[in-house]
Structure 1
Amino acid sequence: MAVFVPLLGAAALSVALSSCGGGGIAALALGGVGTGGTGLTIGTVVALGSVGVDDHEYDSQAPQYFEDGNATATPATVVGLGQRIHVETDAADNPLTMTVEPTLVGTIQGTPTIHADGVTGSFVVNGVTVVTNIAPAAGPVTFYVGLTDITSLTSGTRVEVHGLFHGNAGGTGNTIQATRIALSPVTDTTTRITGVVTGLTQSAAGESFQIAGSGMTVQMTSATATEPAGVALANGQVVNVLSTTAPSGTTIPAANVRIHGIVGTTTTVAVEGLVSSSGGGVFTVDGVAVDAVAAGLPAVHDGDAIVVTGQEGANGTLNASAIRTYATQPAQVSLKGTITGYVSASNFLVRGVPVDAGGAAVTTVVGGTPAALGNGVYVEITGNPGGLGQGNVVVAANVASSSVPPVGAVVDYLGTIGGFTSDKSPFTLQGTFGGVTNPTVTLTTNVQTVNGTEGNLADGKAVEVEGTVTASGLTVYSVTFLGSAPTSSDTNGEVHGYAAGGSGFTVNGIALTLTPTTLFYDGTTTSTPPSWFTDGAPVEVNYTQSGGQNLAQSISFDGG
């Protein structure tokens, strides 16, 4: 589930823009940065190692991480490829907070349309049309999680969609170009919708409005939080609405309504999205008004995928100083980290992302030590999600490896704790990692944990740690407690194809089998499948191979 971290409010400033071929969007530049922040990047996660958002790469150790709508910080592992994210920065462009914000959450209505290529298509969630993309020149390529590609989608499938909004106030042609489509657990009751406000009315029950073109009505009450606080809604605004329940017919009861915008920024702002309402150098991107009349900026057209950089100007408009078009600089995924879940050169994980490097030559990281691909090997990979049957895999175009990760690299290691004295003192991770035996682990002040707290740290505890390499060991900012000591066979991802009472399921395309001795762990251990073990659940699985089967030894919850 994802919900929004409250941001500082600002006066309502709107700019009515004329549209090419449709009504205008009132692009309110609101809801920019929070306390201490001066800059803002709004875009798509295209790189992991450092966190890459469009043209920017940020230190993954420094910020606090949030899921949109939840003011409690969460582990860095919440950030995934293809997600929409807000990065609040200081005056030196250092990241302070990163907030993940899904675009749509709900069930697919009707049968998805699959195009003749068998790879692209469209479907509808909460009345909003979602289109997929395999062309890097049109924006980030759609990445699937817990699904293989669009052919995995059926009517009633529950999904979380991240994507680029395109539309107009009339709602005609309003769409979301998906950057990520994730199978959502059936136990998740939240609803999310993004679009243009229309038909805003006030009644005794509270304000209500429609999302243009969707047929859905959003009902607000006195308990609904509006971001930024104190700003009145208006027709034509682009909003993201969260509900903690499923729609009642065509009505969505709103818990949070957030207006898209950038007010409050004083340094650099970057916004990625599809151009809407383009005309005369003035247009909107992600609901933000953009003035791009400055000399030397490229011409853009309705529907173009761009990243626009500049500063907040009069009336909250983003005054563009640079525009990158995906047509001239296509999207590419970058992954930097240590290999986990290694099966073969065409099947392993980096930062939890499945990778197929079977067709790529392996070089050596600059200054590194040559190494064949395998668990624990540090790699730097570029590529993009694949086509039919591989929408959930990054197909590597370039691979560089090293048995010893460079200082400053982000690594992901599974091991057991040793030398523990107290939760504020360094300990060791038992084993050999990156050429170092029993490296010293120092926790950051903003460390986050899964399946436990710092108070659960103890000798012999099985953990997965994420952190950066230092000259003296590891500086760790995320710790996940595991149900058993890691084995040579391990994978993590979303559960798929599991039926309650059954024994078979898959994770990252690996067929796995439950046994009577399989242990489930989420802070407590049980041998009975818990309620959270459903399709779409994020898990870490240790397994052994026997009789041609992959037998699950332990399954640990891997959520935030």
Structure 2
Amino acid sequence: MKQLKQHLQWGLCALSCALSAAVLVACGGGAAAGDTASQSPATAPPSAGITGVVNGTITGFGSVVINGVRYDDSLAKVAFSNQPDVQTAATLGDLHTGMQVQATLKDGALQNLLVNFALLGTIGAVDTTAGTLTVFGQTIKITTTGQLPTVFEGFSALSQLALGDLVKVSGTVASDGSITATRIERRLKDGTELFRISGAVQGLDTTAKTFGLTGNTTVTVDYSKAKVLPDGAVIENGKPVSVVSANAPAASGGKTVLVASAVEVRAKKLPDSGDTTVGGPISDFQSLASLRVGDVVVDASAATLKDGTVAGDIVNGAQALAHGTLSSGAMKADWIKVLKNDTAIKALLVGQITDYVSLANFTLRGTAVDGSAATFSKGSAADLGTGAWVTVTGQLTSSGVKATDIAVQPPPADKPQHLAGAITAVDATAKTFTVLGTTVQWSDTTKIAPDGKSLANLAAGVTVSVEGSYSAASGVFTATSVTVVNTTGVSKTIGFSGVAFNVTSTSLQIGSYTVQITPNTQLQPTGTKLADLVNGSRLSIRATVSGSAGNVTLTALAIELEKPEQDASGNDYVYLGGLIGDFNSAADFKVGSQKVDASGSTVKFIDGDASKLANGAKVEIKGSVKDGVLIAVQVHFMPG
């Protein structure tokens, strides 16, 4: 598989450090660097012209959160380091909790964000009791508690994984060679995968050009045909490396050998910078003057200890953040802090609901939320639905966020907006009704559709679609048009997509949603069979929602198997789903924070046309990324 090749301008870090920060933030961008998720987004940005580097774990979405700090993502360009010497362009929608990243900053805003990972391989053993996987002789440790549990995609429990399954792992390599995973994705085998293992070199034989990895007694690496990166790097015992191969390890000469196509030496991977932040577990602690945070050597002898940190907290295994000047791969820290359970920030999500099934099962920016035990500090459960703006606080889990508090928020002010949902209250005298927790004002000039409907006869439970804008000064949404969608008693239809797992002939799961398959379910494209739906498949689902709030059933009307496709340059198409916002034209709008251009003359529209593009429309877009913009080749309008 060809990939978009760009020389790395700001270095690679094949194994970014993992951080136990329980923070999730999803919003439309604009948060300042240095603004932790517990602080107001109004925190002052750094001085103009400062350029920095941040290295660590994604702990939020929208305004991207790295190491618990929010960064403006309005100018961010995203890429994946699937190979050590190339980048594959991606969207902001491709970012997920637990991913390991390296990013450059200018004036506090993200410029380039590179996603790295530690391992890609097939499972050789699963130990559900110990909470571990073995992949190519390397032990993967799962964290189910704490501030950042291991995030799962394509499965919800280790017991669902099988020998031979392909997994992609983000995390940190410990001194014993094991990987503490921050994220594990089950992938579909398609023959294009590039396998990867990581760890510290041991048993180096420069004559035979082979070595092993600490803690891995199974696999021997043959680097005789490998490209050693970065240029000028030298493989030495004790140095951490990431090894990439087009083929899985195989028996050779009485050994299990991985023939490397590239060996990436991780020393001195970060560029020199006077404004660098790193996060991860402390290791190799000798003194404050000599320790590691994640993969970076740190001298904290002159550093300020922040946020209640004392010298006794700085020990091996503690999760930490350090900031300072990086030179030749080593940091002189000006401050360091250890994240402790009693001072940890709670999970926080701020944004617009994209998929709503029930209070116990809805989605914000790809993060599953269970609000069944939450209290409402503003609004009520009746105000929730696809398109509602909310703030959610709670606890992070391996599958999403368990909400403890939900606050329903008004839509962004003074710009065209779209509201769609069930009416919860009507005041015919005042000419107002409430939908998604927002008071809507109509007048004699407000258009209504279909013909024959009267706004004065609207009632609670009726589903409407409203166009207009919200005023922060008056606190009301002034409607320019109202469309009556249906009345009470009509079943709801929703659409969503993702990676399938627990696939049987009668049901499957995508994320937190369980979907029933019936003989009436349409399989697409034409010729698709049930046997084609397997664990790891990417599917687009259209389903009805039935049942009560505590016992909701999703029944698939149609399931589309999204097969891997490539653009004219040989790059895999990317997919982006969500609600349209900041709509200016078909050539200029956003889905989440991602810029999109769907103005091309050959763009394929499904279940609508270009005239349907508008704020609030729910879409799934297929296309290619160019200069940080998703250039659409297909726009599929999805039911809400």
With the length of structure 1 as denominator, give the TM-score of the two structures: 0.69
Q: Could you say which residue in structure 2 is the equivalent of 1:511? A: 515
Q: 1:220, CA displacement in angstroms?
A: 2.8
Query: Does the CA-based 8 Å contact 2:121-2:166 persist in structure 1?
Result: yes
CA offsets per residue over residues 409-457 of structure 1, 9 Å max, x none? x9999xxxxxxxxxxxxxxxxxx999899xxxxxxxxxxxxxxxxxxxx
What is the alpha-carbon distance in structure 1 between the residues aligned to residue 227 and residue 378 of structure 2? 51
Q: 1:240, CA displacement in angstroms?
A: 2.5
Query: Which structure dedicates a bigger proportion of its chain to strand?
Result: 2
| One-letter amino acid of the counterpart of residue 374, structure 1 | G
| One-letter amino acid of the counterpart of residue 303, structure 1 | G
Q: Which region of structure 1 is more displaced relative to structure 2, 62-71 or 246-255?
A: 246-255
Q: Which has the larger radius of gyration?
A: 2
| One-letter amino acid of the counterpart of residue 115, structure 2 | V
* Inter-CA distance 131–549: structure 2 relative to 1 (3 Å threshold): closer
Q: Could you say which residue in structure 2 is the equivalent of 1:541? A: 541
1:58 maps onto 2:66 in alignment: no
* Inter-CA distance 8–66: structure 2 relative to 1 (3 Å threshold): closer
1:555 maps onto 2:555 in alignment: no
Percent identity over the alignment? 26
| One-letter amino acid of the counterpart of residue 252, structure 1 | L
Query: Does the CA-based 8 Å contact 2:128-2:159 persist in structure 1?
Result: no
What is the alpha-carbon distance in structure 2 between the residues aligned to residue 336 and residue 218 of structure 1? 46
1:129 maps onto 2:139 in alignment: yes
1:187 maps onto 2:155 in alignment: no
Q: Could you say which residue in structure 1 is the equivalent of 2:45? A: none
Q: 1:380, CA displacement in angstroms?
A: 2.3
Query: Does the CA-based 8 Å contact 1:371-1:403 persist in structure 2?
Result: no
Query: Does the CA-based 8 Å contact 1:45-1:80 persist in structure 2?
Result: yes
Q: 1:279, CA displacement in angstroms?
A: 0.9
What is the alpha-carbon distance in structure 2 between the residues aligned to residue 245 and residue 71 of structure 1? 20
What is the alpha-carbon distance in structure 2 between the residues aligned to residue 9 and residue 549 of structure 1? 46
The structure whose RCO (Cα within 8 Å, separation 6+) is larger is 1
Q: Could you say which residue in structure 2 is the equivalent of 1:74? A: 90
Query: Does the CA-based 8 Å contact 1:289-1:318 persist in structure 2?
Result: yes
Q: Could you say which residue in structure 1 is the equivalent of 2:497? A: 492
* Inter-CA distance 149–106: structure 2 relative to 1 (3 Å threshold): same
1:208-247, aligned counterparts within 5 Å? 208-215=210-217, 216-222=219-225, 224-247=226-249
Q: 1:113, CA displacement in angstroms?
A: 4.1
Query: Does the CA-based 8 Å contact 1:165-1:273 persist in structure 2?
Result: no
Indicate the SS of the match to 1:488: strand
* Inter-CA distance 234–80: structure 2 relative to 1 (3 Å threshold): same
What is the alpha-carbon distance in structure 2 between the residues aligned to residue 397 and residue 375 of structure 1? 20
Indicate the SS of the match to 2:250: coil
* Inter-CA distance 318–192: structure 2 relative to 1 (3 Å threshold): same
* Inter-CA distance 87–37: structure 2 relative to 1 (3 Å threshold): farther
Q: Could you say which residue in structure 2 is the equivalent of 1:7? A: 8
Q: 1:330, CA displacement in angstroms?
A: 2.7
What is the alpha-carbon distance in structure 1 between the residues aligned to residue 414 and residue 331 of structure 2? 38
What is the alpha-carbon distance in structure 1 between the residues aligned to residue 351 and residue 527 of structure 2? 33
Query: Does the CA-based 8 Å contact 1:83-1:100 persist in structure 2?
Result: yes
Q: Could you say which residue in structure 1 is the equivalent of 2:385? A: 374
1:223-372, aligned counterparts within 5 Å? 224-249=226-251, 250-260=256-266, 261-281=268-288, 282-297=290-305, 298-299=310-311, 300-313=314-327, 315-327=328-340, 329-330=343-344, 332-364=346-378, 372=383
Q: 1:289, CA displacement in angstroms?
A: 1.0
| One-letter amino acid of the counterpart of residue 231, structure 1 | A
What is the alpha-carbon distance in structure 2 between the residues aligned to residue 38 and residue 265 of structure 1? 11
What is the alpha-carbon distance in structure 1 between the residues aligned to residue 111 and residue 346 of structure 2? 25
Query: Does the CA-based 8 Å contact 2:8-2:87 persist in structure 1?
Result: no
Indicate the SS of the match to 2:93: helix
| One-letter amino acid of the counterpart of residue 54, structure 1 | N
Q: Could you say which residue in structure 2 is the equivalent of 1:427? A: none
* Inter-CA distance 126–159: structure 2 relative to 1 (3 Å threshold): same
* Inter-CA distance 331–219: structure 2 relative to 1 (3 Å threshold): farther
Q: Between Structure 1 and Structure 2, how many residues are aligned?
A: 440
Q: 1:8, CA displacement in angstroms?
A: 4.8
Query: Does the CA-based 8 Å contact 1:545-1:551 persist in structure 2?
Result: no
CA offsets per residue over residues 154-192 of structure 1, 9 Å max, x none? 44433222123321xxxxx33222211222223363322
Indicate the SS of the match to 2:216: coil
CA offsets per residue over residues 477-506 of structure 1, 9 Å max, x none? xxxxxxxxxx8322333200236xx45322
Q: Could you say which residue in structure 1 is the equivalent of 2:401? A: 394
What is the alpha-carbon distance in structure 2 between the residues aligned to residue 371 and residue 108 of structure 1? 44
Query: Does the CA-based 8 Å contact 1:9-1:231 persist in structure 2?
Result: no
Query: Does the CA-based 8 Å contact 2:384-2:437 persist in structure 1?
Result: no
What is the alpha-carbon distance in structure 1 between the residues aligned to residue 164 and residue 141 of structure 2? 17
What is the alpha-carbon distance in structure 2 between the residues aligned to residue 4 and residue 238 of structure 1? 25
1:93-104, aligned counterparts within 5 Å? 93-104=108-119
